Amino acid sequence: LAEREEAFGSRGSGRTELVGRQKRELRRLRDDELRFGLATLSRVYRDSALAASEAGLPVDASAAATARITAATGDLVRNPNETLLLQALFLDLPMA
**Cα distance between residue 33 and residue 65, in whole Å:** 20
> Which residue, 70, 71, 60, is CA-closest to 94?
60
Which one is predicted more confidently, 70 or 16?
A: 70
> Where are the chain's structural domains?
2-92
Nearest alpha carbon to residue 93 among 72, 79, 74, 78: 72
Burial class of residue 6 in the structure, from the number of CB atoms within 10 Å of its CB (0-12 exposed, 13-18 middle, 19+ buried): exposed
Confidence of residue 7 (pLDDT cuts 50, 70, 90): confident
CA distance 53 to 6: 67
**pLDDT tens figures, 38-76:** 999 999 999 999 999 999 988 999 999 999 999 999 999
Q: pTM of the predicted model, to two decimals?
A: 0.77
